Amino acid sequence: MLYSHYMKSPREYWPRWAETLRRYKLHELAAMLLEAGTPFALLGAQALYFGRGLIVSDQLTALAQTLEEDKEARAFASFLVEERASL
């Protein structure tokens, strides 16, 4: 049976992710790694896709999609920096 599963856009999760990273004081490290670590981001995305067989989560899929696309990963890093500057 083929069906489509509604999933939020990865960008809809960004505020929640940013809040969690700030709570654990990891937002600066995450932004730095996303801006500089393109190969690592791609490997992280592949690991998340591999893990989908064990843990089903729309947020993990959205994170994998964000990490997989260099433009999206950098946009999330900018989002973290902008959020940090507005506080």
| Predicted pLDDT at 31 | 92
| Predicted pLDDT at 60 | 92
Q: Is residue 78 part of a domain?
A: yes
d(CA 73, CA 65): 9
Q: Which domain holds residue 55?
A: 11-86
| Predicted pLDDT at 7 | 66
Q: Is residue 2 part of a domain?
A: no
Q: Is residue 34 part of a domain?
A: yes
Confidence of residue 41 (pLDDT cuts 50, 70, 90): confident
Task: Return the amino acid letter for 80.
Answer: L
| Predicted pLDDT at 87 | 57
Does the predicted model carry a pTM greater than 0.85?
no
Q: Is residue 46 part of a domain?
A: yes
Q: Is residue 61 part of a domain?
A: yes
Looking at the 3D structure of the chain, how many domains does it have? 1
Q: Is residue 3 part of a domain?
A: no
